[in-house]
Amino acid sequence: MSEIKEECGVFGIFDDAEAVKKTYFGLHSLQHRGQESAGIASSDGEYIKCYTGMGQVGRVFRPSKGFLEKLENPTAIGHLRYSTTGSSNPLNAQPFLSEYSQGQIAVAHNGNLINANLLRDEYEAYGHIFKSSNDTEVVVHLLAKPTHVSKPDPLAHVLNHLHGAFSILFLFPDRIEAARDPFGFRPLCLGKTKAGKYCVASETCAFDAIEAEYIRDVEPGEIVTIDKTGLSSRFFVEPGTVTPGHCIFEHVYFAKQSSRIFGDSVHEFRKQSGRVLAQEHPVDADIVTPVPDSGTSAAVGYASESGIPFDMGFVRSHYVGRTFLAPSQELRDLAVKMKLAVVKEAVAGKRVVVVDDSVVRGTTTKGKINSLREAGAKEIHMRVACPPLVSPCYFGVDFPTKEELIANNRTLEEIRDFLKVDSLGYISLDGLLSCASLPGDHYCTACWSGDYKMPVNTAFNKLSLERHQMQLFDNID
Amino acid sequence: MSEIKEECGVFGIFDDAEAVKKTYFGLHSLQHRGQESAGIASSDGEYIKCYTGMGQVGRVFRPSKGFLEKLENPTAIGHLRYSTTGSSNPLNAQPFLSEYSQGQIAVAHNGNLINANLLRDEYEAYGHIFKSSNDTEVVVHLLAKPTHVSKPDPLAHVLNHLHGAFSILFLFPDRIEAARDPFGFRPLCLGKTKAGKYCVASETCAFDAIEAEYIRDVEPGEIVTIDKTGLSSRFFVEPGTVTPGHCIFEHVYFAKQSSRIFGDSVHEFRKQSGRVLAQEHPVDADIVTPVPDSGTSAAVGYASESGIPFDMGFVRSHYVGRTFLAPSQELRDLAVKMKLAVVKEAVAGKRVVVVDDSVVRGTTTKGKINSLREAGAKEIHMRVACPPLVSPCYFGVDFPTKEELIANNRTLEEIRDFLKVDSLGYISLDGLLSCASLPGDHYCTACWSGDYKMPVNTAFNKLSLERHQMQLFDNID
Amino acid sequence: MSEIKEECGVFGIFDDAEAVKKTYFGLHSLQHRGQESAGIASSDGEYIKCYTGMGQVGRVFRPSKGFLEKLENPTAIGHLRYSTTGSSNPLNAQPFLSEYSQGQIAVAHNGNLINANLLRDEYEAYGHIFKSSNDTEVVVHLLAKPTHVSKPDPLAHVLNHLHGAFSILFLFPDRIEAARDPFGFRPLCLGKTKAGKYCVASETCAFDAIEAEYIRDVEPGEIVTIDKTGLSSRFFVEPGTVTPGHCIFEHVYFAKQSSRIFGDSVHEFRKQSGRVLAQEHPVDADIVTPVPDSGTSAAVGYASESGIPFDMGFVRSHYVGRTFLAPSQELRDLAVKMKLAVVKEAVAGKRVVVVDDSVVRGTTTKGKINSLREAGAKEIHMRVACPPLVSPCYFGVDFPTKEELIANNRTLEEIRDFLKVDSLGYISLDGLLSCASLPGDHYCTACWSGDYKMPVNTAFNKLSLERHQMQLFDNID
Amino acid sequence: MSEIKEECGVFGIFDDAEAVKKTYFGLHSLQHRGQESAGIASSDGEYIKCYTGMGQVGRVFRPSKGFLEKLENPTAIGHLRYSTTGSSNPLNAQPFLSEYSQGQIAVAHNGNLINANLLRDEYEAYGHIFKSSNDTEVVVHLLAKPTHVSKPDPLAHVLNHLHGAFSILFLFPDRIEAARDPFGFRPLCLGKTKAGKYCVASETCAFDAIEAEYIRDVEPGEIVTIDKTGLSSRFFVEPGTVTPGHCIFEHVYFAKQSSRIFGDSVHEFRKQSGRVLAQEHPVDADIVTPVPDSGTSAAVGYASESGIPFDMGFVRSHYVGRTFLAPSQELRDLAVKMKLAVVKEAVAGKRVVVVDDSVVRGTTTKGKINSLREAGAKEIHMRVACPPLVSPCYFGVDFPTKEELIANNRTLEEIRDFLKVDSLGYISLDGLLSCASLPGDHYCTACWSGDYKMPVNTAFNKLSLERHQMQLFDNID
């Protein structure tokens, strides 16, 4: 399920002899959260250095360029940005380094500010100029505002101006500040290395990558400061004044199986969702196969609950294939198959349960089902580990439009017919929420329910900030 | 298991309107057979054009370069070369295009000629000059020899001079000739598109990629000609005069799960090997986890046979991480973890059966076991889907030296102790051979038995051809 | 004489079907004014597009990248930035495109603002943030200030805040505004194409390049607007309130021989300076040779006045040679010779008059003199077409420090001794000024007299804006 | 005059601590002889290393790539290849390194073998295969032939097979052999460093570049060996059996002004040709201007002989401008002006003598004349320092076809009319030959007389070797 894009991952570590290289490893483990650009900013306690580039972290920081060495400093933050097919803009790569009256600052942000446009218009009216089409730049303008600078806690003051999702790291020359919006839409976790150095990351898998231990989450509405005195905390909104709205789609699809987020294991959540799916939509079949990799954990759960043998009906390619302009329908069909091949012998003549994490537009799923049918599957029973998607996300996920979502205006039977499967079962929202340990209302489920945690202006979208952005750039190859 | 390198994959298709783009798709599906370089040669019936480059096929033929369009022709062959960590040499990229008295020829070769050095010395004595350190160049010199040119069937005559493994495609302006050594070490298959065009590939997964149908294998000792008259066949050694020696390691590790080779499904072979492993080395445990992806099919088989639940204890990264010069042991340890993360919740407190396809040096396996232990696995039972590796390969696989193979001079107990597992079980050679449908002596099993299909000069290795090769090249980034 | 660097060249053209390509030709003809970066911004009347890159204009806009086509629009401005040996910073490339409350703006600036630091500090205190270390960014901040935006003529108001040298182009979506500081330090000229389209450029050679006609200079203190209504003018300081201070070093060295600046032909100025030099410092000799190319016009004048035959004793290399880390003095000496070779037969056994435009540190000149001596010159008489350089420039020229200038604390005899020439003659300041048609006090001659046109804070230098700038960048190769 | 392309320059040095870096400097000074590719091969006495790349030597060996260091060895040869606008082929870059029965060999060749095609066909019939479309590859095949290897002096034997122009360096692991064809078409000189190390180069300017001293030319028909025993000589054709045919066009245009070739100073030759031109074609005028740089020396001579003042009416751009596809005639006209600007004030209202080294197609010259006229020149008198070009060259110069040469089928008056000049004068062939110190029949003057030094097959041209060459390559940017 590659049609929905996460927006960004962050990592930071304070006062570690290998801070920059550990940030590299941390980012690499979070690479699934964004492949468009990668960057690292580091501080020697007095000055900040920064390097950002287009592409995956392994390419941006390839050894021949030597940037990991050039950045060497005891404190660092890093950022990954998601990949779009359209125009990519190096100005939007993060960490976003700038200078204002209080000195240098680098910011790494995961989320989406729904009032970024309003704030930008306001600051332009104050006489500010903007270089990027990035909502993160707005945050720095707020921090730089003289009336904000003079507040007792300028950062807490500024964060109260922001509406939307933000799990955000600020690197000042002498400290890292990590903050999370009051709903806690996106995950943000604290860790500690064996040597007792604090680190912070979007997901706990980044701690595993550097052999650090997970301590706890940064709480919704909390600012955690990591500096020479250790770790300290304060809240920019009083805790408990708002019910959290963790993005449950992180559990369904975005987060890595090996991570813990929002207090639960991602893998266990997904396996349990497979079990619930088996209870809600049992079927008589010969094998259960995931659509790898995102459906694998749920398929293991389905197989275990149903007693139907698990098998690998698909094999995923580990290699990148570039798309060229395919002049014929035949070639376009072939191009789709590049990422996923069917294992004929596993499915031929069998009644197959296919477990996937979600169905978005439906076209990709239809292609996979068709491949199974051509390989000789006798019956195909589609099981989806999340409810039908009907509403876009304004809190950090790059969804198709409402019109493109297959479940938006079709009955279950119409979808089944479109996908050409013998049966189709989505997990229920209650069933899905039952897999998590927090109460159901602590999660944002708007993409299934259309019920958002805060008012959103649906006319707003991420492109509005890019309306006049016309700096041209070289493509990276 | 990434320590053993396959040497190359080939693909060819004759007289198809989309020949070059299908060759691209075919190579992409065979990418697991070689990532160092990729190339395509195409013919318009009269002249051959060729482009080769360093890196994966998706990079070499990235759309911005336009080479797929520049090569457009109705007939094409393609080649992938394996990846080494050392110096890579653009001169060795294939197809190898040259010109001799009979005109142009392009060659794409998968395998290894154990007498290439002898032949090269001989031809240098005839006054020939050599540009590459590639054994494929030797084949063209043989074809160009005037006494060979004048034979009734020069190609058949020349192939009789070659000792070793070769699944090889020759593109002449007007035809493709596909040949396989008399032992059939490496796979080579024939297919046909829906429109009735013939194609040839290292594995059948390439036919799936272009929606072609598998017809049959090119037989050991056979030359298949594809030209305007269709497909015709001849043998350069009389069939039946030698027992085949198919490389069973193709089944164990190299080939793609979705392929059929040597008459069997790779996935079914591996799943069956898991079942046999469960029979030969049963254990009481809580979960069975593969080392993905190469151990997955065998793990499914082990779980199914043993009744122990299958689960995903590891998650593999899909992203490339470049290695830099790690100045400390701590960083080197972290670098190893980049490719594989443990799913703690799946293994913590559990008795875990780990199924992998093979153990080579042992150091990588040891690292993975250690990660499991740190994640809290209570017991670890290692099960290996091939017998202990003790001898190098001279027929197209890039093995470590005998001394580096952990099983070469250690007892089972010593290996178990080295890996720090609670129990260790290798499948028996007979058990492994029982998974294949051909008689056991139709396979080359020398890497486990040291019993080669033909005499080999162990002093010979692939580097000998590179002894004086000192053309320097730019690194690709 | 390559030790002194010009800071930038600009070009603009309004409403021309080939505006972008003519801007390319214009910049190419001005390339001597800056080789570090090049850029073009263009407008369709409503929106501005911009592309900038590191290196010469021919490289930045090489056809394979297609940026000239992507920028195609009827109005365009372009910019060249000078080359330094140190770190180059893509953020400083111009035109500088940004967005503020009034919409888009692109700025191309030649000169240096001596109060940029003060203004930046002031605007940071207002809450502004800065991305570049470029004084041009400061200008846009001034324009964006709300109290400035509301002025009847915001641009004129803002320009009054700037101290220093500026020949500056502003591209608004609907117009070009071209302004020049009240002293007119740097040249800025207006032209008209055969089709009657207005253009503006640092030097008239850019008009020759696009077959446009020179009309007049933009006057000191003037703003010229080019828009749909044609060309209009206003003054942001009342004309005549200050005596101009044209940089006479433009005539001596920077400007192209084929240009007219400050009302005079550069070539004629230089030739006349050679004549004056011959009158002031006659000598009995066999040939007059220039140090090409900057000394050529003066040498022609010297030869003509003295009657001594002109000959080419040096030949300049047209090719770029990169310097590597030369491990020995021998290699360092050779590296210096790469740019200039001596024609032995022209100088051997002869009494040679060498004419150069200036002597800066003296070391390069000494090397050339030494080469002449080794080639067999019998006598060497050095004639310098500008007075001894003793003071740095704060108005747009990148000089060595005062300490590095050879004439700063040495007598004429000491310099002669250092250069090892038989005689040494500098033109007098009065002699030099006599070559120009304006009164002597209309020129800035501070580099020879130390007498600046306005108070300068000598602690200030261009690096001060770069004090905390630590964004890292890829090198271009 | 950039319409005629030289084919290559060579440099070699034996047993010098800085051999590779001196080869770099030597090649840089010879860069005018070829800009398409550059390469250096070096030997440690036992093995040869080689690196070649596309573009100028300063780019191929830019320090960031580190190849000068990787090649470090006490003996080296280097090569420059000329630049064409068409397809460039990395396989043709030299030195050409290969391996044959006698070990490694690297070859650097300046010239053209008129029987390369015949030899290649012959060797293909012997069973040889070819990778490049380069006549140098043929030479190595000849050396490798077993019946040649067994000769007492294989190299001398082989050189007797070659027809055409060759100034050629062979780097064997233990020595450099430098040979020159019996007519001595191209220059080849011997030098000695201050430390007594021998070097060899196409022109003496390369010795100046490394502070070596010119000793003598390699004689026509001579092989000079430089090895541990010093310098030794032999002749592969008996000296005196053939009258030399030095390419006098080297004096007219190719060679650098600072070089000595064929026993004469290039600068003095050209200056003298200007004097002769003034005697043969006097005119009453105000200034003499060269077309820089190749016409400068002759213009100095013309001015000196005629007493008309020398001035610089043109200024040449030192910067590379890439050509894009100009959609209109207006843009194409502008593109031509990029390389040369007119100094209006030097020519306006004047009677101008324009001295150029040659006129090839006439179109470029016509453009320059037109620019002068537009700048206000009152009269234009064209003086050409070589006779009318009527025949192509088969000995190492890349001429337009006979049909494209303006003088081929036009009278002097027709040419004058085409160029739109007031008068036109070519130097006579006798006049030109009078400027050289050797007898007139010691030079090849075929491009003016059509009288070749040996029979040529006019159907042959350099492209014939490229007839089937279809390896595709990346463009360099």
At B445-465, the pLDDT tens digits run: 999 998 999 888 665 544 444
Is A357 one of the annotated binding-site residues?
A: yes
CB D100 to CB B124 under 8 A?
Answer: yes
Q: Which residues contact B97 (CB under 8 A, 6 or more apart)?
A: B41, B48, B50, B104, B105, B106, D470, D471
- Residues of chain D with Cβ-Cβ distance to C328 below 8 Å are 18
Residue D86 has pLDDT above 50, yes or no: no
Mutation to test the C interface, candidates A472, A473, A474, A477, most C Cβ within 10 Å:
A472
Chain C residues within 8 A (CB-CB) of chain A?
A: 47-51, 53, 65, 67, 70-71, 97-101, 103-104, 124-131, 137, 140-141, 144-146, 148-149, 468-474
Pick the CATH number of B269-438 from 3.50.50.60, 1.10.10.10, 3.40.1390.10, 3.40.50.2020: 3.40.50.2020
* β-sheet bridge partners, residue B10: B79
CB atoms within 10 A of CB C462: 17
CB C129 to CB A474 under 8 A?
Answer: no
Mutation to test the D interface, candidates C30, C318, C475, most D Cβ within 10 Å:
C318
CB A130 to CB C67 under 8 A?
Answer: no
> Confidence band (pLDDT; 50, 70, 90) for B131?
confident
- Residues of chain D with Cβ-Cβ distance to B145 below 8 Å are 127
CB A319 to CB B58 under 8 A?
Answer: yes
pLDDT value for D323: 62
Distances (CA, A) of A378 to A281, A369, A372, A375: 19, 12, 9, 9
Q: State the Cα–Cα distance between residues A58 and D17, nearest whole angstrom.
A: 40
pLDDT value for B6: 60
The nearest CA of chain C is from the CA of D438 a distance in Å of: 18
Could you say which residues of chain C have pLDDT below 70? 1-6, 83-88, 321-327, 457-469, 474-477
CB B265 to CB A344 under 8 A?
Answer: yes
CB B29 to CB A341 under 8 A?
Answer: yes
pLDDT-wise least confident of B321-335, B339-353, C364-378, D29-43: B321-335
Report the residue of chain C nearest A131, measured CA to CA: C98
The nearest CA of chain C is from the CA of D20 a distance in Å of: 11
Top mean pLDDT of A448-452, B217-221, B334-338 is at B217-221
Please give the share of chain B, as a percent, with pLDDT higher than 90.
69
Binding-site residue ranges of B for Mg(2+): 294, 356-357
Is A50 one of the annotated binding-site residues?
A: no
Q: Which of C320, C335, C345 lies at the smallest CB-CB distance from D265? A: C345
pLDDT value for C335: 77
pLDDT value for A459: 57
pLDDT value for A400: 78
pLDDT value for B98: 87
pTM of the model: 0.88
Q: State the Cα–Cα distance between residues C415 and C409, nearest whole angstrom.
A: 10
The nearest CA of chain D is from the CA of B221 a distance in Å of: 25
Residue A425 has pLDDT above 90, yes or no: yes
CB A319 to CB B258 under 8 A?
Answer: no
pLDDT value for A85: 38
* β-sheet bridge partners, residue C288: C310, C353
CB D477 to CB C62 under 8 A?
Answer: yes
pLDDT value for B85: 38
pLDDT-wise least confident of B321-325, C198-202, C287-291, D271-275: B321-325
Q: What is the ipTM of this complex?
A: 0.90
Average pLDDT over residues A341-352: 96
pLDDT value for C83: 54
**Beta carbons of B259 and B289 less than 8 angstroms apart:** no
Is D247 one of the annotated binding-site residues?
A: yes
- Residues of chain D with Cβ-Cβ distance to B474 below 8 Å are 53, 65
Is C444 one of the annotated binding-site residues?
A: yes
CB B312 to CB A323 under 8 A?
Answer: no
Is D444 one of the annotated binding-site residues?
A: yes
Average pLDDT over residues D337-345: 90
The nearest CA of chain C is from the CA of A419 a distance in Å of: 42
pLDDT tens digits, one per residue of B200-224: 999 999 999 999 999 999 999 999 9
Mutation to test the C interface, candidates A128, A141, A157, A474, most C Cβ within 10 Å:
A128
pLDDT-wise least confident of C17-31, C116-130, D340-354, D430-444: C116-130
The yes-or-no reply on B/C contact (3 CB pairs or more, < 8 Å) is no
Q: Which of D47, D137, D140 lies at the smallest CB-CB distance from B470? A: D47
pLDDT value for C386: 96
Catalytic residue among A8, A189, A386, A435: A8
> Confidence band (pLDDT; 50, 70, 90) for B92?
confident
Domains of chain B, by residue range, sit at 9-242, 269-438
CB D144 to CB B124 under 8 A?
Answer: yes
pLDDT tens digits, one per residue of B69-81: 999 999 999 999 8
pLDDT value for B252: 95
pLDDT tens digits, one per residue of B267-311: 999 999 999 999 999 999 999 999 988 899 999 999 999 999 999
pLDDT value for A175: 98
The nearest CA of chain B is from the CA of D473 a distance in Å of: 7
The nearest CA of chain C is from the CA of A85 a distance in Å of: 19
pLDDT value for C326: 64
The nearest CA of chain D is from the CA of C406 a distance in Å of: 27
CB B99 to CB D125 under 8 A?
Answer: no
Chain D residues within 8 A (CB-CB) of chain B?
A: 47-51, 53, 65, 67, 70-71, 97-101, 103-104, 124-131, 137, 140-141, 144-146, 148-149, 468-474
Residue A19 has pLDDT above 90, yes or no: yes
Please give the share of chain A, as a percent, with pLDDT higher than 90.
69
User: What is the SS3 assignment for chain A?
Assistant: CCCCEECCEEEEECCCCCHHHHHHHHHHHCHHHCCCEEEEEEECCCCEEEEEEECCHHHHCCHHHCHHHHCCCCEEEEEEECCCCCCCCHHHCCCEEEEECCEEEEEEEEEEECCHHHHHHHHHHCCCCECCCCHHHHHHHHHHCHHHHCCCCHHHHHHCCCCEEEEEEEEECCEEEEEECCCCCCCCEEEECCCCCEEEECCCHHHHHCCCEEEEECCCCEEEEEECCEEEEEECCCCCCCCCCEECHHHHHHCCCCCEECCEEHHHHHHHHHHHHHHHCCCCCCEEEECCCCCHHHHHHHHHHHCCCECCCEEECCCCCCCCCCCCHHHHHHHHHHHEEECHHHHCCCEEEEEECCCCCCHHHHHHHHHHHHCCCCEEEEEECCCCCCCCCCCCEECCCHHHCCCCCCCHHHHHHHHCCCEEEECCHHHHHCCCCCCHHHEECHHHHCCCCCCCCCCCCHHHHHCCCCECCCCCC
| D253 vs D465: which has the higher pLDDT | D253
Average pLDDT over residues B7-14: 94
Average pLDDT over residues B254-270: 96
Chains C & D: contacts with CB separation below 8 Å: 183
CB A258 to CB B342 under 8 A?
Answer: yes
Report the residue of chain D nearest B121, measured CA to CA: D101
Is C447 one of the annotated binding-site residues?
A: yes
Q: Can C8 be counted among the known catalytic residues?
A: yes
pLDDT tens digits, one per residue of D105-127: 999 999 989 888 888 888 888 88
CB B127 to CB D148 under 8 A?
Answer: yes
Q: Let me know if domain C9-242 sits in CATH 3.60.20.10.
A: yes
Residue A332 has pLDDT above 80, yes or no: no
> Confidence band (pLDDT; 50, 70, 90) for A212?
very high
Residue D296 has pLDDT above 60, yes or no: yes
pLDDT value for D318: 80
Mutation to test the B interface, candidates A59, A193, A257, most B Cβ within 10 Å:
A257
Q: Which of D124, D140, D144 lies at the smallest CB-CB distance from B101? A: D124
pLDDT value for A121: 85
pLDDT value for A467: 46
